[in-house]
């Protein structure tokens, strides 16, 4: 018996009923190639049914007191924490990341449930001084309605709780479409939500292998009032076009091309540790991971020497095995993309000084890699690498590196390493990125806003900003007072 068997679900969830389907699709372990489960494959009829269930549930859930919603969310949080090891084991099986890292994701994901269980009791309106006598002006907050959430495979627990917890806290009902590669974590979370007391229709989950068709129905259906999507910029643009027909509210967390800037006054070991954490977490498969590492000329030799030593110590293997730090990439397409970007870079003069090929651990494992002499003519300077490859660039001065860091259509995250507070503040203000880590490679917390600029999307998740995305501000003007 596997640790996660008690949480394993292979059905569609609509109205708190576990439904089957005519078709099923396989969920594979990327580390071993083994079949974990065959999951019911939702079609467009299931989407319409789920939206209908969510609409009916909203009539009640949207009117429940904040305290009532808070108590259910707190119970959900407690159940997730009680099942941390089982959820992490399931996450590792379907996604591949090391168990320790998966456990960290579950705890991080649960923190959003806890935060919004508390934050839902603080969705205050305002009273506004009236400009004329006899009137009273005020605002109230109300849930937007039925929400559709579309989540990625790289953080199959955290990306779900980061969207669903504030939506439910606000009084919205949800139709969730998890990624095809990792639907099991979503279904396990939903089963715990039901156990916590989530009423029928409030949370519906549609695993599917036909993301395009399901997504189109969610975007065009008039009952769905908001879409929250995390994924590629290419898909995000399609969803924007589809949502235009009903003028839906949108939150989009899209692609990134994060620069890391290591100035010559940085603490080298702090910079090495922070860059390593940003780059190699989840085998480099994160939207905020270090994609371009800029190192100032003066400290370049020292940084490369120490960074190379640290990368060489990373242990690659099956995430279910102890002491593993780098798991597999999610699928063959991920491996092929890394190979393509490395080939292009080396053809244009870059040098691989560590790694550079597939790892003996198996077909979807890639060696932790460092490539130097990079420049902006290379594809990896413009595309998300989404693999365990550190692309190193050299710069001379602050003005130059700010220009290079901003030379991208993306603007999600950026990182600065310096001991000069004036420089840190000055550069952070100039960077066209929504989140800035200063002497830190891990920046996301439930209490803080997460989101980007430019073609990395709009809308925030986390903090009080996150619940505002699911609330309408209604203005009331009372006359004759």
Over residues 255-297, the pLDDT tens digits come to: 999 999 999 999 999 999 999 999 999 999 999 999 999 999 9
Q: Please, which pLDDT band fits residue 204 given cuts at 50, 70 and 90?
A: very high
Which residues, at least 6 apart from 20, have a Cβ–Cβ distance to it below 8 Å?
Answer: 11, 12, 40
Note whether 395 and 413 are within 8 A (CB): no
Mean pLDDT across 317-342: 96
Mean pLDDT across 327-343: 96
Q: To the nearest whole number, what is the mean pLDDT of the chain?
A: 97
The reported pTM is 0.96
What pLDDT was estimated at residue 202?
A: 98
Q: Determine how β-strand 17-19 pairs with β-strand 12-14.
A: antiparallel
Distance, CA of 226 to CA of 228 (rounded, Å) = 7
Q: How many helices (H) and strands (E) does the chain have?
A: 14, 22
Distance, CA of 452 to CA of 479 (rounded, Å) = 42
What pLDDT was estimated at residue 463?
A: 96
Which conformational region is residue 273 in: left (phi greater than 0), alpha (psi within -120 to 50 degrees), or beta?
alpha
Q: Three-class SS of residue 455?
A: coil
Mean pLDDT across 171-195: 98
- Could you write out the DSSP letters of every residue in 83-147? THHHHHHHHHHHH---HHHHHHHHHHHHHHHHHHHHHGGG---EEE--SSTT-EEEEEEEE--EE
With tokens 């594809």, the residue in question is: 379
For 456-476, the pLDDT digits (tens) are: 999 999 999 999 999 999 999
What pLDDT was estimated at residue 144?
A: 98
What pLDDT was estimated at residue 1?
A: 80
Whether residue 169 is predicted with pLDDT greater than 90 in this model: the reply is yes
What separation in angstroms does the CA of 223 have from each of 117, 203, 206, 244, 432?
A: 26, 15, 17, 14, 36
Mean pLDDT across 11-28: 97
With tokens 């559709």, the residue in question is: 148
Q: Which residues pair with 111 in a beta bridge?
A: none
For a pLDDT cut of 70, what percent of the chain falls above it?
100
Torsion of CA 105, 107, 113, 116, to 10 degrees: -100
Mean pLDDT across 235-239: 97
Pick the CATH number of 258-446 from 3.90.180.10, 1.10.3720.10, 3.40.309.10, 1.10.1060.10: 3.40.309.10
For 95-106, the pLDDT digits (tens) are: 999 999 999 999
Measured in whole angstroms, the distance separating CA 175 from the mean position of its chain's CA atoms is: 17
Alpha helices in 178-266 (DSSP H): 183-196, 211-220, 233-243
Distance, CA of 440 to CA of 466 (rounded, Å) = 23
What separation in angstroms does the CA of 60 have from each of 3, 127, 217, 469?
A: 36, 27, 24, 20
Q: Please, which pLDDT band fits residue 81 given cuts at 50, 70 and 90?
A: very high
Whether residue 196 is predicted with pLDDT greater than 90 in this model: the reply is yes
For a pLDDT cut of 90, what percent of the chain falls above it?
99
Q: Which residues of 157-170 are buried (b: 16+ CB within 10 A; e: fewer)?
A: bbbbbbbbbbbbbb
Which residues, at least 6 apart from 35, have a Cβ–Cβ distance to it below 8 Å?
Answer: 26, 27, 28, 29
Mean pLDDT across 181-189: 98
**One of 120, 219, 243, 287 is an active-site residue; which one?**
287
Mean pLDDT across 189-207: 98
For helices 211-220 and 233-243, give the axis angle rounded to 10 degrees. 40
- For the record, the structure tokens of 146 come out as 């039925």
DSSP label at residue 254 = -
Active site residue 253: yes
∠196-201-202 over CA atoms, to 5°? 55
- For the record, the structure tokens of 225 come out as 């009032």
Active site residue 287: yes
For 395-439, the pLDDT digits (tens) are: 999 999 999 999 999 999 999 999 999 999 999 999 999 999 999
Q: What is the radius of gyration, based on Cα positions, of the chain?
A: 23
Q: Domain 5-254+456-477 falls in which CATH fold? A: Aldehyde Dehydrogenase; Chain A, domain 1 (3.40.605)
Note whether 46 and 377 are within 8 A (CB): no
**One of 253, 367, 455, 469 is an active-site residue; which one?**
253
Q: Determine how β-strand 389-395 pairs with β-strand 290-296.
A: parallel
Whether residue 300 is predicted with pLDDT greater than 90 in this model: the reply is yes
What pLDDT was estimated at residue 266?
A: 98
Q: Where are the domains of the chain?
A: 5-254+456-477, 258-446
Mean pLDDT across 57-65: 98
What pLDDT was estimated at residue 392?
A: 98
């Amino acid at each position: 018996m596997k640790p996660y068997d008690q949480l394993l679900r292979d059905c569609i969830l609509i109205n708190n009923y576990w439904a089957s389907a005519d078709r099923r699709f396989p969920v594979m372990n990327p580390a071993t190639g083994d079949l974990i489960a065959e999951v019911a494959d939702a079609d467009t009829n299931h989407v319409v049914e789920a939206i209908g269930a969510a609409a009916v549930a909203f009539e009640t859930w949207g009117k429940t007191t904040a305290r009532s919603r808070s108590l259910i969310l707190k119970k959900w949080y407690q159940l997730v924490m009680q099942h941390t090891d089982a959820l992490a084991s399931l996450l590792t099986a379907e996604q591949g990341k090391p168990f320790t890292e998966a456990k960290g994701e579950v705890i991080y994901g649960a923190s959003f449930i806890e935060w919004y269980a508390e934050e839902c009791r603080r969705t205050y309106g305002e009273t506004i001084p009236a400009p004329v006598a006899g009137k009273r002006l005020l605002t109230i907050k109300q849930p937007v309605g039925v929400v559709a959430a579309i989540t990625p495979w790289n953080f199959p627990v955290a990306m779900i709780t980061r969207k669903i917890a504030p939506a439910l806290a606000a009084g919205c009902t949800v139709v969730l479409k998890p990624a095809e590669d990792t639907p099991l974590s979503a279904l396990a979370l939903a089963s715990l939500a039901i156990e916590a007391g989530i009423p029928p229709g409030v949370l519906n989950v549609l695993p599917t292998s036909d993301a395009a068709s399901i997504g189109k129905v969610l975007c065009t259906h008039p009952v769905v009032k908001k879409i929250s999507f995390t994924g590629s910029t290419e898909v995000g643009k399609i969803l924007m076009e589809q949502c235009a027909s009903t003028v839906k509210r949108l939150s989009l967390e899209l692609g990134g091309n994060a620069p890391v800037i290591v100035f010559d006054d940085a603490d080298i070991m702090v910079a090495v540790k922070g860059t390593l954490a940003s780059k190699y977490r989840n085998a480099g498969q994160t939207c905020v991971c270090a994609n371009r590492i800029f190192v100032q000329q003066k400290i370049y030799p020292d940084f490369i020497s120490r960074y190379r030593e640290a990368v060489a110590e990373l242990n690659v293997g099956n995430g279910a095995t102890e002491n593993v730090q780098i798991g597999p990439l999610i699928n063959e397409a991920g491996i092929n993309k890394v190979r393509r970007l490395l080939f292009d870079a080396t053809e244009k003069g870059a040098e691989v000084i560590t790694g550079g090929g597939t790892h003996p651990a198996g077909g979807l494992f890639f060696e932790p890699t460092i490539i130097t002499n990079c420049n902006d003519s290379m594809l990896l300077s413009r595309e998300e690498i989404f693999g365990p490859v550190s692309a190193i660039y050299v710069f001379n001065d602050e003005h130059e590196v700010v220009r290079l860091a901003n030379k991208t259509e993306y603007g999600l995250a950026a990182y600065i390493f310096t001991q000069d507070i004036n420089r840190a503040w000055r550069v952070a203000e100039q960077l066209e990125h929504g989140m800035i880590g200063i002497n830190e490679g891990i920046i996301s917390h439930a209490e803080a806003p997460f989101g980007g600029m430019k073609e990395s999307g709009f809308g925030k998740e986390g903090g009080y900003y996150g619940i505002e995305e699911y609330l309408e501000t209604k203005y009331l003007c009372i006359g004759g007072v």
